[in-house]
Amino acid sequence: MASPRILAIGAHPDDVDIKVGGTSALWRKHGCEVLLISVTDGSGGHQTMKGPELAKRRKAEASEAGKVIGTEYRVLDFPDGGLMPTLEARHQIIRLIRGFKPDLVLTHRPNDYHPDHRYTSILVQDAAYMVTVPAVCPETPHLRHNPIFGYFADDFRKPIPFHADIVVDIEPVFDSIMGMLDCHVSQFYEWLPYNGVFFDAIPENCNDRQDWLKKAMIEWIKPYADRFRDEVVKTYGVEKGEKIRLIEAFEISEYGGKLDPEKKAWLFPFLPSLRNDTKLLGAIDCGDYRDDE
């Protein structure tokens, strides 16, 4: 049985680590192919460094973060803080998706505080159907079947709050997430504290600062489990579901392919309520979901 291919597209180096790092680690443990993308070069995310020097540093940090879970972490060349949903950018995203041939594509939602997040989402949405159109970007073979597209969880309420279609217990792989985040020294130990994301003083000792970051991330992530407790219990059962503290959640877009129970079981093989349904898994024909041309 073929393993699914997952493409996670964030606006900046470290976005996908925060939003889908744990689920990516689980996918890799189950033999799935995962490609992590930062659409912008990260050249705007620091209080003292900037431009090519910072872009080079952040690209290296992203590469090391990908190695933590054994996957490629690719950084594109669009300027941090200057991304626009142009036709040129759309075509680059179309070619990227076609080249990787993903079964699932995850990205930001289009309502977000950061313009790069919003425009990354718009670019991916605009590519969602066009990846199947032969006359668009004809130099890159089109996909015969549209991937499923989805969104990372967020806290924005307007115009429509995030809806959790998928929830994943990430506590078993939380150390992998922290290993990825620890690679982004320029962000989690320099820029984000300066910019006010974290308010406590950072310990000078490297080991102490890793513990500090872990505590900060737990406080940042844990509200999601309670917010989507009904879906967590539905997925993991009452006994386990009530105890789960840390999750990642995803909303499936109306654009792209449709997520039926069979596809869900195939794309998320680590979800117990799906994995244990042998009748359901036996009905899966991966050829229906994979474009092998």
Domain-located, residue 211: yes
What confidence score (pLDDT) does residue 247 get?
98
Average pLDDT across the chain, whole number: 92
What confidence score (pLDDT) does residue 1 get?
67
> Which of 51-60, 161-170, 201-210, 242-251 has the least mean pLDDT?
201-210
Q: Give the DSSP H or E segment for 16.
A: helix 15-29
> Span 241-245, mean pLDDT?
97
Confidence of residue 165 (pLDDT cuts 50, 70, 90): very high
pLDDT tens by residue, 99-153? 999 999 999 999 999 999 999 999 999 999 999 999 999 999 999 999 999 999 9
Percentage of the chain surpassing pLDDT 70?
91
Domain-located, residue 60: yes
On the question of pLDDT at 279 being above 70, the answer is no
Residue 245 maps to which CATH number? 3.40.50.10320
Residue 217 and residue 85: Cα distance in Å, rounded? 31
- Tell which wins on pLDDT, 113 or 284: 113
Tokens of 216: 């900060």
pTM above 0.75, yes or no: yes
Domain-located, residue 182: yes
Domains held by the chain: number: 1
What confidence score (pLDDT) does residue 196 get?
82
Domain-located, residue 293: no
Buried b (16+ CB within 10 A) or exposed e, 119-133: bbbbbbbbbbebbbe
Instruction: Name, in order, each residue with C-beta under 8 angstroms of 233's C-beta and a sequence gap of 6 or more.
Output: 241, 242
Tokens of 45: 């995310």
Burial class (CB in 10 A: 0-12, 13-18, 19+), 78: buried
On the question of pLDDT at 58 being above 80, the answer is yes
Task: Let me know: does 186 contact 54? Beta carbons within 8 Å.
Answer: yes
> Which of 22-36, 53-67, 209-223 has the least mean pLDDT?
209-223
The upper half-sphere exposure of residue 105, i.e. CA atoms within 13 Å in the direction of its Cβ, equals 32
Percentage of the chain surpassing pLDDT 90?
85
What confidence score (pLDDT) does residue 273 get?
59
Residue 34 and residue 66: Cα distance in Å, rounded? 10
Task: List the one residue out of 131, 126, 134 whose CA is nearest residue 94.
Answer: 131
Domain-located, residue 130: yes
> Span 216-240, mean pLDDT?
96
pLDDT tens by residue, 193-216? 888 876 667 887 777 888 999 999
> Span 217-228, mean pLDDT?
96
**Containing domain of residue 77, as a range?**
5-288
> Span 279-288, mean pLDDT?
41
Helix, strand, or coil (residue 29): helix
What confidence score (pLDDT) does residue 201 get?
73
Domain-located, residue 177: yes
Domain-located, residue 188: yes
Domain-located, residue 19: yes
